Amino acid sequence: MKKLIILAGATLSLLFAGCAKEEIRTLSVIPAPLNVELQQGVFLLKPGTGLYIDASDGDKTILEGCLAASSMRLKPVTTEEGHTIVLKQVEQLPEVNSSEGYVLTIDPDRVLIRATSGAGLFYGVQTMLQMADEKGLPVGTITDEPRFAYRGFMMDVSRHFFDKEFIKKQIDALAYYKLNRLHLHLTDAAGWRIEIKKYPRLAEFAAWREFSTWKEWWNNGRLYKEEGDKDAYGGYYTQEDIRELVAYAQERFITIIPEIEMPAHSEEVLTAYPEFSCTHEPYKQADFCVGNEKTFEFLENVLTEVMELFPSEYIHIGGDEAGKASWPACKLCQTRMKKENLKDVNELQSYLIHRIEVFLNAHGRKLLGWDEILEGGLAPNATVMSWRGTEGGLKAVDAGHKAIMTPGEFCYFDSYQDAPYSQPEAIGGYLPLAKVYSYNPVPDTLSADKVSLIYGVQANLFTEYIPTPEHAEMMIYPRILALSEVAWSAPVVKDYKDFYIRALKASDELKTKGYHPFDLKKEIGNRPGADQPISHLAVGKKVVYGLDAAYYPGYTAGGDTALVDGVVGGWTYGDHRWQGFIDKKGMDVTIDMEQETNIHSVGADFMQLCGPGVFMPAEVIISISNDGKEFTELKRIEHKVVKDEQLSFTHFGWEGETKARYVRYQAFSGEFGGFLFTDEIVVK
């Protein structure tokens, strides 16, 4: 027989010779397998097709349940003989290196999946289920294993509460695409979501708030309510709910990792139990008092109950965005700092992280936290979840710690996935499917001996602007499919054009299963002009920035050449194309055209997104000069900056007829201050 060996891509067109004509079949699997070898022929799925499983009792039960819920309608049999699908757990599998790997062999009369673990068999089954169509399964062999051990998704159930049935539904999809960690963001200012029997006020009060949407609550006093109050919005998982979710996930080889925030993002706790804050006043504090010994008694009691419910290796303790504002004035915190010889509040936070880690380690668990846990020194056995870019993760890896990469630029699914004007309100940003897919968690610069410390990758869905299950699913799918391929598939088999075809098919399949994915067929795409360079007279010319009017270090867009590189910015200032200016001196840029030049127009685009403090300029001045010293003003534009809730773009420019060697463009902030962002000064 003719054999096709496929090393890249999983949308495979295959010719089968028949009596009447050749037939093209397509194999569509997400994430793309490591190695696919296909032959002519097909394993037909018949009413009497058997299912034989040779595995441990627990794994056998899981696998039987998985296939019973599928459309294959297989008949359990007690022998491998006959027209049968065989799942076999083996001692060794030389073809793969991971216990989650598998070998799937399909012959006309037999399907065999081999793996060294139940998880490996389960993932082989998921591949088989995706391969199957009304004609059966194409003959061949698939050898497959994951790139990363940790393949995760984080669901924020604090900002908006999602019930356990919704969580189960997402677990089903995550497992189907071979993700194996569900990180639940259970606690935050907007609501505490887990029953803790020793502290009943967490469920009775801290889990409930005014207003059903986070935005209304945030802008109207941020008050909490008693459970049962007619105006109360919220909810929590009982301990029985948690046990049910954990068991449901385990049956799909997914580990649920709980997150209990500390020392910050804890307004709900410190209003229900203000004695654990520095001032002991409700509605006043977001950070626990680290100097108070009772704080540690509370945290350890909470974590004890959490560990009884979640058997996960890791317990996530947050650790991000601590304001630490009350610590310098708190007598207890200052006493703690002196006693422990801590030089600043960063080291005080590190003291809390270290101490909680010792407690978790003593109970056989490991600490996981956002990359701020690096501040003041990282706890000895902690793993870092790197969200503020990749720097935190690489710093942790360099120090010999494991890191899970989850940078906002590639992994935060609360960002817009298409043109913002076409989407429900989001927190900002722009993260289309293609960009998620493009992420490589292991930088080329990382030394070979450190690569293994990149433990995995995770997508995050924070839900400030996502109040409904349907909206949440629209934000998750199909982007999580791209993340699954980043997490599982070797870079050599990845191809976006191929993946896009598979994602379209998978999205249709998700709809038939009752999910609500974003309609990829109607994707608008990036901001007009952002997909290819533009040409104008100033491209490549020398740029000089005015004294004290330099761009902000965090948003350089490439440095001194950014505003004349011919690259137009997209829908977000975080795409490395928009240059940012923040101080009151504003933006002052002079372009040397190298010789006197006929000029017909000078202009630049600015964006506004008031939430994160990005505003239009209040004044723009466009000037010209022939000596670079004395400038003649061409146009002065006064602009009334008005706060709104939309992402918007405005062009500020001049048109006419003039000659000049130097073009000066100045822009100044108005009463709201904040950032100015522009992408290109276009001279024509």
The yes-or-no answer on residue 495 being catalytic is: no
Half-sphere exposure of 25 (CA within 13 A, CB side): 21
Residues in contact with 200: Cβ distance below 8 Å, sequence separation at least 6, in sequence order: none
> What are φ and ψ of residue 334, in 5° steps?
-65, -40
The yes-or-no answer on residue 651 being catalytic is: no
The yes-or-no answer on residue 81 being catalytic is: no
481 pairs with which residues across the strands?
none
Catalytic residue among 265, 316, 354, 401: 265
- Structure-token pair, residue 457: 């990758």
Identify the CA nearest to 349 among candidates 329, 378, 311.
378
75 pairs with which residues across the strands?
50
Cα–Cα–Cα angle for 113, 114, 117, nearest 5°?
Answer: 120
H/E element holding 305?
Answer: helix 293-309
Sign of CA dihedral 110, 116, 117, 119: negative
Residue 409: helix, strand or coil by DSSP? helix
- Structure-token pair, residue 62: 């899981």
CB contact burial 86-110 (16+ within 10 A = b; e otherwise): bbebeeebeebebbbbbbbbbeeeb
**Dist. CA 626–CA 632, nearest whole Å:** 10
Alpha-carbon distances, residue 632 vs 16, 108, 120, 592, 665 (angstroms): 74, 82, 72, 15, 12
Alpha-carbon distances, residue 550 vs 303, 576, 594, 664 (angstroms): 47, 16, 22, 14
Give, as one character, the DSSP assignment of residue 33: P
Instruction: Write the single-letter amino acid at 306.
Output: V
Helix axes 469-476 and 164-176, enclosed angle (nearest 10): 20
Identify the CA nearest to 404 among candidates 355, 459, 356, 354.
459
- Structure-token pair, residue 455: 């433990």
Alpha-carbon distances, residue 424 vs 1, 414, 468 (angstroms): 53, 11, 12
Identify the CA nearest to 246 among candidates 182, 304, 156.
182
Catalytic residue among 163, 216, 321, 531: 321
E strand residue ranges, 90-231: 102-106, 110-115, 137-144, 150-156, 181-185, 187-188, 191-192, 208-210
**Dist. CA 292–CA 272, nearest whole Å:** 17
Catalytic residue among 100, 156, 188, 287: 188
Q: Find the length of the chain.
A: 684
Own/partner long-range contacts of 2-7 (Cβ < 8 Å, ≥24 apart) = 2/39, 2/40, 3/37, 3/38, 3/39, 3/140, 4/37, 4/38, 4/39, 4/140, 5/35, 5/36, 5/37, 6/35, 6/36, 6/37, 6/38, 7/35, 7/36, 7/492, 7/493
DSSP 206-236: TTEEESSSHHHHHHTT--B--TT-TTEEE--
H/E element holding 477?
Answer: none
Identify the CA nearest to 493 among candidates 31, 4, 140.
31
Helix axes 479-488 and 496-512, enclosed angle (nearest 10): 130
Identify the CA nearest to 191 among candidates 116, 264, 266, 285.
266
674: left (phi over 0), alpha (psi -120 to 50) or beta: left
Q: Are the beta carbons of 24 and 15 closer than 8 angstroms? A: yes
Which amino acids are annotated catalytic?
188, 265, 321
